[in-house]
Amino acid sequence: DAKTTQPTSMDCAEGRAANLPCNHSTISGNEYVYWYRQIHSQGPQYIIHGLKNNETNEMASLIITEDRKSSTLILPHATLRDTAVYYCIATIPYISNFGNEKLTFGTGTRLTIIP
Amino acid sequence: GAGVSQSPRYKVAKRGQDVALRCDPISGHVSLFWYQQALGQGPEFLTYFQNEAQLDKSGLPSDRFFAERPEGSVSTLKIQRTQQEDSAVYLCASSLDRVRTNQPQHFGDGTRLSIL
Protein backbone atom coordinates (compact mmCIF):
# COMPACT_ATOMS: atom_id res chain seq x y z
CA ASP A 1 0.00 0.00 0.00
CA ALA A 2 1.16 3.50 -0.77
CA LYS A 3 2.05 5.67 2.20
CA THR A 4 -0.45 8.44 2.93
CA THR A 5 0.18 11.66 4.82
CA GLN A 6 -2.56 13.59 6.61
CA PRO A 7 -2.57 16.55 8.98
CA THR A 8 -2.77 15.49 12.58
CA SER A 9 -5.76 17.65 13.42
CA MET A 10 -8.18 20.16 11.96
CA ASP A 11 -11.07 22.30 13.16
CA CYS A 12 -14.15 23.28 11.19
CA ALA A 13 -17.14 25.45 12.08
CA GLU A 14 -20.48 23.72 12.20
CA GLY A 15 -22.41 24.18 8.96
CA ARG A 16 -19.31 24.90 6.91
CA ALA A 17 -17.62 22.53 4.47
CA ALA A 18 -14.84 20.46 5.97
CA ASN A 19 -11.98 19.80 3.54
CA LEU A 20 -9.60 17.06 4.64
CA PRO A 21 -6.42 16.68 2.58
CA CYS A 22 -4.40 13.55 1.98
CA ASN A 23 -1.07 13.16 0.25
CA HIS A 24 -0.28 9.87 -1.51
CA SER A 25 2.54 10.82 -3.84
CA THR A 26 3.76 7.23 -4.31
CA ILE A 27 0.37 5.79 -5.23
CA SER A 28 0.48 3.19 -7.98
CA GLY A 29 -1.85 3.03 -10.96
CA ASN A 30 -4.08 0.30 -9.57
CA GLU A 31 -4.38 1.63 -6.02
CA TYR A 32 -7.65 3.18 -4.93
CA VAL A 33 -8.06 5.89 -2.32
CA TYR A 34 -10.41 4.96 0.51
CA TRP A 35 -11.68 7.12 3.34
CA TYR A 36 -12.92 5.81 6.66
CA ARG A 37 -13.75 7.67 9.83
CA GLN A 38 -13.83 6.60 13.46
CA ILE A 39 -16.05 8.28 15.96
CA HIS A 40 -14.98 7.96 19.57
CA SER A 41 -15.54 4.46 21.01
CA GLN A 42 -16.86 3.13 17.71
CA GLY A 43 -15.35 1.07 14.92
CA PRO A 44 -14.23 2.69 11.68
CA GLN A 45 -16.97 3.60 9.22
CA TYR A 46 -16.54 3.52 5.45
CA ILE A 47 -17.14 6.89 3.78
CA ILE A 48 -16.12 6.80 0.13
CA HIS A 49 -13.49 5.56 -2.30
CA GLY A 50 -12.19 6.41 -5.77
CA LEU A 51 -9.54 5.66 -8.37
CA LYS A 52 -9.09 8.76 -10.49
CA ASN A 53 -12.47 10.35 -11.01
CA ASN A 54 -14.14 12.54 -8.45
CA GLU A 55 -16.78 10.70 -6.47
CA THR A 56 -19.81 11.80 -4.46
CA ASN A 57 -22.21 9.93 -2.23
CA GLU A 58 -24.68 10.82 0.48
CA MET A 59 -21.92 11.32 3.02
CA ALA A 60 -19.14 13.15 1.20
CA SER A 61 -17.28 14.05 -1.97
CA LEU A 62 -13.82 12.85 -2.93
CA ILE A 63 -11.65 15.01 -5.15
CA ILE A 64 -8.56 13.32 -6.59
CA THR A 65 -5.95 15.40 -8.39
CA GLU A 66 -5.19 14.60 -11.99
CA ASP A 67 -1.75 13.20 -11.11
CA ARG A 68 -3.39 11.18 -8.31
CA LYS A 69 -0.75 12.26 -5.84
CA SER A 70 -3.23 13.84 -3.47
CA SER A 71 -6.91 13.93 -2.68
CA THR A 72 -9.41 15.87 -0.59
CA LEU A 73 -12.41 14.56 1.29
CA ILE A 74 -15.18 17.12 1.50
CA LEU A 75 -17.98 17.04 4.04
CA PRO A 76 -20.28 19.69 2.56
CA HIS A 77 -22.14 20.82 5.68
CA ALA A 78 -20.31 19.63 8.76
CA THR A 79 -22.30 18.81 11.89
CA LEU A 80 -21.15 18.05 15.42
CA ARG A 81 -21.65 14.35 14.65
CA ASP A 82 -18.87 14.57 12.07
CA THR A 83 -16.30 15.02 14.84
CA ALA A 84 -14.07 11.97 14.38
CA VAL A 85 -10.69 10.70 13.22
CA TYR A 86 -10.59 10.46 9.43
CA TYR A 87 -8.31 7.92 7.74
CA CYS A 88 -7.11 8.10 4.15
CA ILE A 89 -5.92 4.73 2.80
CA ALA A 90 -4.41 3.86 -0.56
CA THR A 91 -4.73 0.21 -1.41
CA ILE A 92 -5.39 -2.30 -4.14
CA PRO A 93 -8.93 -3.70 -4.10
CA TYR A 94 -9.00 -7.39 -3.37
CA ILE A 95 -10.12 -8.63 -6.72
CA SER A 96 -6.67 -7.80 -8.07
CA ASN A 97 -4.74 -8.50 -4.91
CA PHE A 98 -5.56 -12.19 -4.64
CA GLY A 99 -7.71 -11.80 -1.59
CA ASN A 100 -5.30 -9.81 0.57
CA GLU A 101 -7.79 -7.15 1.46
CA LYS A 102 -6.31 -5.76 4.64
CA LEU A 103 -6.53 -2.03 5.24
CA THR A 104 -3.42 -0.18 6.39
CA PHE A 105 -4.52 2.68 8.62
CA GLY A 106 -2.21 5.52 9.59
CA THR A 107 -2.94 7.85 12.47
CA GLY A 108 -5.47 9.91 10.50
CA THR A 109 -6.75 13.45 10.95
CA ARG A 110 -8.65 14.32 14.07
CA LEU A 111 -11.45 16.58 12.85
CA THR A 112 -13.25 18.69 15.45
CA ILE A 113 -16.45 20.47 14.49
CA ILE A 114 -16.83 23.69 16.44
CA PRO A 115 -20.38 24.81 17.37
CA GLY B 1 -29.29 -5.23 14.19
CA ALA B 2 -27.70 -5.80 10.82
CA GLY B 3 -24.19 -4.69 11.74
CA VAL B 4 -21.08 -6.51 12.92
CA SER B 5 -21.49 -7.50 16.55
CA GLN B 6 -18.61 -8.05 18.95
CA SER B 7 -18.66 -9.39 22.47
CA PRO B 8 -17.81 -8.68 25.13
CA ARG B 9 -17.53 -4.90 24.74
CA TYR B 10 -15.08 -4.76 27.60
CA LYS B 11 -12.84 -7.44 29.03
CA VAL B 12 -10.50 -7.21 31.98
CA ALA B 13 -8.11 -10.06 32.61
CA LYS B 14 -5.11 -10.72 34.77
CA ARG B 15 -1.77 -11.22 33.12
CA GLY B 16 -1.33 -14.85 32.19
CA GLN B 17 -5.02 -15.61 31.71
CA ASP B 18 -6.48 -16.73 28.40
CA VAL B 19 -9.21 -14.66 26.74
CA ALA B 20 -11.63 -15.26 23.88
CA LEU B 21 -13.21 -12.48 21.86
CA ARG B 22 -16.23 -13.12 19.64
CA CYS B 23 -17.25 -11.57 16.34
CA ASP B 24 -20.60 -12.02 14.60
CA PRO B 25 -20.21 -10.67 11.06
CA ILE B 26 -23.01 -9.37 8.89
CA SER B 27 -25.03 -12.29 7.61
CA GLY B 28 -23.78 -13.54 4.27
CA HIS B 29 -20.46 -11.72 4.42
CA VAL B 30 -17.70 -13.95 3.16
CA SER B 31 -14.65 -11.98 4.30
CA LEU B 32 -13.80 -11.39 7.94
CA PHE B 33 -10.92 -9.41 9.42
CA TRP B 34 -9.46 -8.83 12.84
CA TYR B 35 -7.57 -5.65 13.71
CA GLN B 36 -5.82 -4.45 16.85
CA GLN B 37 -5.95 -0.78 17.84
CA ALA B 38 -3.62 0.60 20.47
CA LEU B 39 -4.51 3.82 22.24
CA GLY B 40 -4.05 6.82 19.95
CA GLN B 41 -3.14 4.70 16.94
CA GLY B 42 -4.97 3.51 13.86
CA PRO B 43 -6.15 -0.09 13.64
CA GLU B 44 -3.53 -2.65 12.62
CA PHE B 45 -4.34 -5.80 10.67
CA LEU B 46 -4.13 -9.13 12.46
CA THR B 47 -5.74 -11.79 10.29
CA TYR B 48 -8.18 -12.43 7.44
CA PHE B 49 -10.69 -15.19 6.68
CA GLN B 50 -12.51 -16.03 3.51
CA ASN B 51 -15.38 -18.20 4.70
CA GLU B 52 -13.74 -20.69 7.08
CA ALA B 53 -10.29 -20.45 5.49
CA GLN B 54 -7.71 -18.30 7.22
CA LEU B 55 -5.88 -16.85 4.22
CA ASP B 56 -3.65 -14.34 5.95
CA LYS B 57 -2.42 -14.36 9.51
CA SER B 58 0.67 -12.29 8.94
CA GLY B 59 -0.37 -9.63 11.44
CA LEU B 60 -0.75 -11.88 14.46
CA PRO B 61 1.96 -10.64 16.85
CA SER B 62 2.88 -13.98 18.38
CA ASP B 63 1.88 -17.61 18.61
CA ARG B 64 -0.20 -16.70 21.66
CA PHE B 65 -2.76 -15.25 19.26
CA PHE B 66 -5.10 -17.65 17.50
CA ALA B 67 -8.21 -17.01 15.41
CA GLU B 68 -10.80 -19.36 14.01
CA ARG B 69 -13.99 -19.26 11.99
CA PRO B 70 -15.00 -22.94 11.83
CA GLU B 71 -18.34 -22.60 10.03
CA GLY B 72 -17.57 -19.54 7.99
CA SER B 73 -19.67 -17.18 10.06
CA VAL B 74 -18.86 -16.42 13.72
CA SER B 75 -15.19 -15.92 14.48
CA THR B 76 -13.26 -16.10 17.74
CA LEU B 77 -9.94 -14.46 18.50
CA LYS B 78 -8.15 -16.18 21.34
CA ILE B 79 -5.17 -14.83 23.22
CA GLN B 80 -3.30 -17.21 25.47
CA ARG B 81 -1.17 -16.25 28.47
CA THR B 82 -2.08 -12.59 28.11
CA GLN B 83 0.51 -9.89 28.68
CA GLN B 84 0.11 -6.20 29.42
CA GLU B 85 1.09 -5.23 25.89
CA ASP B 86 -1.99 -7.10 24.65
CA SER B 87 -4.15 -4.32 26.10
CA ALA B 88 -5.91 -2.73 23.14
CA VAL B 89 -9.20 -2.53 21.29
CA TYR B 90 -9.77 -5.54 19.06
CA LEU B 91 -11.89 -4.75 16.02
CA CYS B 92 -13.66 -7.16 13.72
CA ALA B 93 -14.77 -6.28 10.20
CA SER B 94 -16.60 -8.12 7.46
CA SER B 95 -17.17 -7.53 3.78
CA LEU B 96 -19.48 -9.06 1.25
CA ASP B 97 -17.37 -11.20 -1.05
CA ARG B 98 -14.39 -11.32 -3.38
CA VAL B 99 -16.27 -11.39 -6.62
CA ARG B 100 -17.48 -7.83 -6.58
CA THR B 101 -14.74 -5.26 -6.29
CA ASN B 102 -14.39 -2.53 -3.74
CA GLN B 103 -16.79 -3.87 -1.20
CA PRO B 104 -16.20 -1.75 1.93
CA GLN B 105 -15.33 -3.32 5.22
CA HIS B 106 -17.99 -2.99 7.92
CA PHE B 107 -16.57 -2.75 11.42
CA GLY B 108 -17.93 -3.68 14.79
CA ASP B 109 -17.40 -1.38 17.76
CA GLY B 110 -14.66 -3.57 19.14
CA THR B 111 -13.72 -5.27 22.38
CA ARG B 112 -11.61 -3.19 24.74
CA LEU B 113 -9.19 -5.58 26.43
CA SER B 114 -7.35 -4.50 29.55
CA ILE B 115 -4.67 -6.74 31.04
CA LEU B 116 -3.83 -6.04 34.67
pLDDT at A98: 52
Give residues with Cβ within 8 angstroms of A31, minimum separation 6: A1, A2, A24, A90, A91, A92
Question: Which residues are A11's β-sheet partners?
Answer: A112
Alpha carbon of A37: minimum distance to chain B alpha carbons (Å): 11
pLDDT, mean of residues A49-56: 92
pLDDT, mean of residues A74-98: 85
- Cβ of B91 within 8 Å of Cβ of A108? The answer is no
Size of interface A-B (CB pairs under 8 A): 68
Contact list in A for residue B107 (CB cut-off 8 A) is 43-45
Are A84 and A40 in contact by the 8 Å Cβ rule? The answer is: yes
- Cβ of B91 within 8 Å of Cβ of A43? The answer is yes
Asked if the model's pLDDT at residue A86 lies above 80, the reply is yes
Q: Does B96 touch chain A (CB under 8 A)?
A: no
pLDDT at A102: 82
What is the CB neighbour count within 10 angstroms for residue B106? 20
Residues B96, B114: Cα–Cα separation, whole Å: 31
Q: Does A100 touch chain B (CB under 8 A)?
A: yes
pLDDT, mean of residues A73-98: 86
pLDDT at B101: 59
pLDDT at A92: 78
In sign, the C-alpha dihedral spanning B31, A92, A49, B111 is positive
Q: Where residue A1 falls among pLDDT bands split at 50, 70, 90?
A: confident
Q: In terms of Cα–Cα distance, which of B84, B76, B92 is closest to B114?
A: B84
Q: What is the mean pLDDT of each run of 10 residues along chain B (116 residues)?
A: 91 98 95 94 94 92 97 97 97 80 86 97
